[in-house]
């Protein structure tokens, strides 16, 4: 794993940290490779239910490294963005819920990480933007997840102005779930993570897969898919145990092997 990526676990939560503040946590090829590898390891190990993705030293990420883009030929730039694609695909397909914990700036591909995460919590001092247009590089790839998080005209506003937006504005448009005072960011993020991590990872995985699979479908196709999923889910050992626990008025104990303390 790259020295610019740190990972630790605390109970059922994994904390994955971008730790390259001198370069504003830019998403270089080695950083993206290290992130993808680590997320795949976390997914395979299944020892946590939630992953918090954060940046070190008051910056989340300033996006792709523009010098790296400039120095590569077309083939090299294509390889770089294919690497970025694999990172987002890994985030989407892993069973754990990913929470982006944002302080400082999250712009361009940094904002894309926030938009691709399942949930996001931001410090009030955080700033968000798709700033590529300022430098002649339209934020095409960040625009994909951005436009699936926020209303269409608001996404277009971000993309075509390159303006920076406050955490409260990001919360209002739906890019982040919660904007909190800076000194409450750690507590608010951990509280949300623990609330989710109390549930079965097996069921989280079922739900995450269904949630994203049904989103692009029409109402009735989505309902038909959800019907099949919930029927199968009802006979999963954790569902059967959980329902029995509810009927017997006792807390459930999941069979996902995660230590919750």
- Supply the pLDDT for residue 16: 98
Per domain, the residue ranges of the chain are 5-197, 201-247
pLDDT tens digits for range 101-126 = 999 999 999 999 999 999 999 999 99
Q: Which of 136, 157, 161 is nearest to 147 (CA)?
A: 157
Fold adopted by 201-247: Lyase 2-enoyl-coa Hydratase; Chain  A, domain 2 (1.10.12)
* Radius of gyration for the chain, computed over Cα atoms and rounded to the nearest angstrom: 19
Tell whether the model's pLDDT for residue 1 goes beyond 50. no
Residue 3 burial (C-beta neighbours within 10 Å; 0-12, 13-18, 19+)? exposed
> What is the greatest pairwise CA distance in the chain?
64
Show Cβ contacts of residue 123 under 8 Å, excluding neighbours closer than 6 positions: 102, 103, 104, 167, 179, 180, 181, 182, 185
Identify the CA nearest to 178 among candidates 111, 104, 120, 102: 120
- Which pLDDT tens digit goes with each residue over 168-194? 999 999 999 999 999 999 999 999 999
pLDDT tens, residue by residue, 24-64: 999 999 999 999 999 999 999 999 999 999 998 789 999 99
The model's pLDDT over 75-95, given as tens digits with 9 standing for 90+, comes to: 999 999 999 999 999 999 999
> Which has the closest alpha carbon to 124: 171, 194, 163?
171
The CATH number of the structural domain formed by 5-197 is: 3.90.226.10
pTM of the model: 0.96
């Amino acid at each position: 794993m790259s020295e610019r990526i740190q990972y630790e676990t605390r109970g059922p939560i994994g904390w994955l940290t971008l730790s390259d503040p001198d370069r504003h946590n830019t998403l270089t090829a080695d950083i993206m490779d290290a992130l993808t590898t680590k997320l795949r390891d976390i997914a395979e190990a299944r020892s946590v239910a939630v992953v918090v993705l954060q940046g070190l030293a008051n910056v989340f990420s300033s996006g792709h490294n523009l010098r790296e883009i400039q120095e590569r030929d077309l083939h090299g730039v294509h390889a770089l963005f294919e690497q970025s694609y694999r990172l987002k695909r890994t985030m989407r397909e892993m069973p754990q819920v990913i929470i982006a914990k944002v302080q400082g700036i999250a712009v361009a591909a940094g904002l894309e990480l926030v938009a691709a995460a399942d949930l996001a919590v931001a410090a009030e001092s955080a700033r968000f933007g798709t700033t590529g247009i300022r430098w002649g590089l339209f934020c095409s790839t960040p625009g994909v997840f951005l436009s699936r998080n926020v209303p269409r005209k608001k996404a277009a506003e971000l993309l075509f102005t390159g303006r920076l937006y406050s955490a409260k504005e990001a919360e209002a448009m739906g890019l982040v779930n919660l904007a909190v005072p800076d000194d409450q960011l750690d507590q608010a993020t951990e509280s949300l993570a623990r609330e989710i991590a109390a549930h079965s990872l097996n069921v989280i995985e079922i739900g995450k897969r269904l949630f994203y699979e049904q989103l692009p479908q029409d109402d009735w196709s989505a309902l038909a898919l959800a019907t099949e999923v919930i029927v199968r889910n009802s006979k999963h050992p954790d569902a059967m145990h959980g329902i029995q626990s509810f009927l017997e008025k006792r807390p459930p104990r999941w069979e996902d092997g995660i230590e919750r303390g």
